[in-house]
Structure 1
Amino acid sequence: MAVYTDITDEELERFLARYDLGEPLAFKGIAEGIQNSNFLLETAGGRFILTVYERGVTAKELPYFLDLMGYLAEAGFPSARPIPDREGVVLQSVRGKPVALAQFLPGLSARRPTVAQCRQAGEGLAWLHQAGEGFPERRVNDLGQAAWAGLFAGLEGAAEALKPGLSKTIAGDLAHLAAHWPRDLPAGVIHADFFPDNVFFREGRFAAAIDFYFACDDAYAYDLAVTLNAWCFESSGELNITAGKALLAGYEARRPLSDAERAALPILAHGAAMRFFLTRLADWGAAPDGALVKPKDPMEYERKLAVHRAGLSILTDAV
């Protein structure tokens, strides 16, 4: 989440005229993340999140994400339900940009996840995978393994600027991943961005997941690998084995992994680290002037790549 578009009072008034939510009581930007402009809106009718879609998604893709959020909520998963206007329309427009309003979900994200929260996150991710079963729409993972070589093309110089020799190392990683990437694992709807800032807790329990704008169809175990990378590494770059075991145990409490999924976790985690290294590298220095957002450091994920590169058995040991 971030703020690139500053909605005026007049624009907000025109927007809310389409709804039966009462007068606005509070409206403020949320300066987190890198993709969209987000605002916390409080009206006489409740609290909501208003999102202006800036980049990373197109108007053509948005119905998939919004429909998925509604589907998960209907299935009992704590996902923010999109709010339609009085005509039943969910997707709106402000300044020619797509806009949607969604239910506000209470809870707090974990800045430094504990082992217990890692277990809860794993269980929440498995719950999401189960709740998404039967969702009729499909979306290819356009940031999956097949896209990584193309994404890196043109960024070699940026990699070298971060660390001499890094471009060659990344090229070697990409070749290895392409040669050994697992196929035919159990698949379905995945979140693909299940980071601590996209998960809420209440009273120590998993309470909600937000920000589904990378959701797609892919291997469930890949989503688990993304989550392991996001939750179970220390700031020094070391994998916390205890946290990894807890997250995996929480996941398997709801959805046991197959032998093939378990064996694939090391290379899936290597690939998941590559995905976020590359997208962070692409975003590095690309934020527009005046945006209330700081691009995330790609070197955090280069350190994770180094862990996976040095010993792919480490996650197998954590299972």
Structure 2
Amino acid sequence: MAVYTDVPNEELEAFLRLYDIGFPKACKGIAEGVENSNFLLVTDRDTFILTLYEKRVNPADLPFFLNLLEHLTERGIPCPQPVAARDGGFLQTLCDRPAAIVTFLDGRWPKRPTVSHCGQLGEAMALLHKAGADYDLSRENALGVMDWRPLFEAAADRADEIRPGLRAEIERELDFLEANWPKGLPKGVIHADLFPDNVFFLKDRLSGLIDFYFACNDFLVYDLAICLNAWCFEGEREFNVTKAQQMLTLYQRTRPLTDAEFAALPLLARGAAMRFLLTRLYDWLNTPKGALVRPKDPLEYLRKLSFHKSVTTPAAYGLNR
């Protein structure tokens, strides 16, 4: 989440007349994240999240995202519900951008995830994967392995500004990942961005999953690989195997991994580190001046990538077959 577009009061009031959710009392920008313009919207009836879609979000994908929220909510997954306008549609236009409103979820994201948080996330992720199995719409991962090189090429000429030799290092790793990426693993709907700031807890119990705007159809175990990177490091270098073990154990109680998924985990974790290294590198070099957004350090994921490159067996993540 972030803010790239300011919303004037008169445009907001006109926009809300399309809905039956009351008159706006407050609309405050949310600075966390990097993709869309997000606002905490308070009306005289309730609290909502207003999103204006920007940057990498393809407007053609928005029905996939918004209908997925409705589908998952109906199956008991705690996530925001899209709010229909008076015409019955979830998607409208505000400030010349596609826009939608979703319900507000109570809870706070964990600034310092614990072993318990990691375990609950593993269970919730498995339930999400099972709930998405009968979702009718599909969307390919727009940031899958074959999309990483074009993304890198958009930033390659300036990569060495971040760290000398970074360009060549990334090119070598892309060569390896493209040549060795697994095939034939179980696929389905994944969140693809379950970082701690997208998972809410109330009194240390998981209360909601948010920000589904990278959701897509991909290897289910790739979601786990992303979360190993996002949740299981202390700082940027020390991997916490206890957190990883709890996450994987509780995931498997609901959806056991196949032998092939288990074997592929180190390579997928390595690829997930590369994916976030590249998007952070691009954003670090291209964030517009004046945007209410905090670009994140790409080198954090270079250091995590270095750990995964050293892994020789999936047992390094806390589980033995």
- Name the TM-score, length of structure 2 as normaliser: 0.96
For residue 99 of structure 2, give the secondary structure of its aligned residue in structure 1: strand
Partner of 1:181: 181
Per-residue deviation, residues 119-172 of structure 1 (Å, max 9, x unmatched):
111111111111111101111111111112222224333332222222222222
CA contact (8 A) 2:280 2:297 kept: yes
Which one-letter code corresponds to 1:38 in the other structure? N
Contact kept, 8 Å, 2:31 with 2:294, in 1: the verdict is no
In 2, Cα distance between equivalents of 1:40 and 1:145: 34
Could you list the runs of 4 or more consecutive aligned residues of structure 1 that deviate by over 4 angstroms after TM superposition? 314-317
Question: Which residue of the partner structure matches residue 309 of structure 1?
Answer: 309
On the 8 A contact 1:266/1:315 being kept in 2, the answer is: no
Give, in angstroms, the shift of residue 315 of structure 1.
Answer: 5.2
Distance 1:316 1:258, change over 3 A: farther
Deviations 1:39-96 (A, max 9, x none): 1112232111000112111221111111111111111111111001122021111121
Cα deviations across residues 183-228 of structure 1 (Å, max 9, x unaligned)?
A: 1111100000010000111121111111111110000111110011
1:71-82, aligned counterparts within 5 Å? 71-82=71-82
Partner amino acid, structure 2, of 1:258: T
Structure 2 distance, partners of 1:314, 1:112, is 25
Within 5 Å, give how 1:272-291 maps onto structure 2: 272-291=272-291
Distance, in Å, in 1 between the alignment partners of 2:28 and 2:47 is 12
Report what 1:191 is aligned to: 191
In structure 2, the residue matched to 1:131 is: 131
Q: What is the DSSP-based 3-state SS (H/G/I as helix, E as strand, rest coil) of the residue aligned with 2:148?
A: helix
Instruction: Provide the rounded CA distance (Å) in 2 between the counterparts of 1:206 and 1:7.
Output: 32
Residues 278-297 of structure 1: per-residue CA shift (max 9 Å, x gap): 11111113111211111111
Matched residue type, 1:66: L
Q: Secondary structure at the match of 1:26?
A: strand
* Match status 1:22 vs 2:17: no
Residue 206, structure 1, aligned to residue 206, structure 2 = yes
Taking the aligned partners of 1:238 and 1:159, their CA distance within structure 2 comes to 25
**2:7 corresponds to:** 7
Tell me what 2:58 maps to. 58
Letter in 2 for 1:100: A
Q: Contact between 1:120 and 1:247, CA under 8 Å: does it hold in 2?
A: yes
Q: What SS class does the counterpart of residue 189 from structure 1 fall into?
A: strand
Assess, with a 3 A threshold, how the Cα gap between structure 1 residues 112 and 88 changes in structure 2: closer, same or farther: same
Counterpart of 2:105 in structure 1 is 105
Structure 1's 184 and 316: CA in aligned 2 closer, same or farther, altered over 3 A? Answer: farther
- Tell whether 2:222 aligns with 1:222: yes
- Aligned counterparts of 1:317 and 1:18: Cα–Cα separation in 2: 49
- Asked if structure 1 preserves the Cα contact closer than 8 Å seen for 2:111 and 2:196, the reply is yes
What residue number does 2:165 align with? 165
| Alignment: residue pair count | 319
Deviates more, 1:193-202 or 1:50-59: 50-59
Instruction: Point out where structure 1 has 5 or more consecutive residues left out of the alignment.
Output: none
Unaligned runs of 5+ in 2: none
Deviations 1:262-310 (A, max 9, x none): 1110000000001110111111131112111111110000001111122
1:16 maps to amino acid:
L
Q: What is residue 32 of structure 1 aligned with on the other side? A: 32
Tell me the distance in 2 between the aligned counterparts of 1:197 and 1:111. 8
Contact 2:232 2:243 in 1 (8 A): yes
Contact persistence 1:233–1:240 (CA under 8 A): yes
Is the 2:263–2:314 Cα contact (8 Å) retained in structure 1? no
Cα pair 1:133 1:188 within 8 Å, conserved: yes
Instruction: State how far apart, in whole Å, the 2-side matches of 1:138 and 1:314 are.
Output: 30
Aligned Cα root-mean-square deviation (Å): 1.4
% same residue: 52
**Distance across 2 between alignment mates of 1:312 and 1:145:** 21
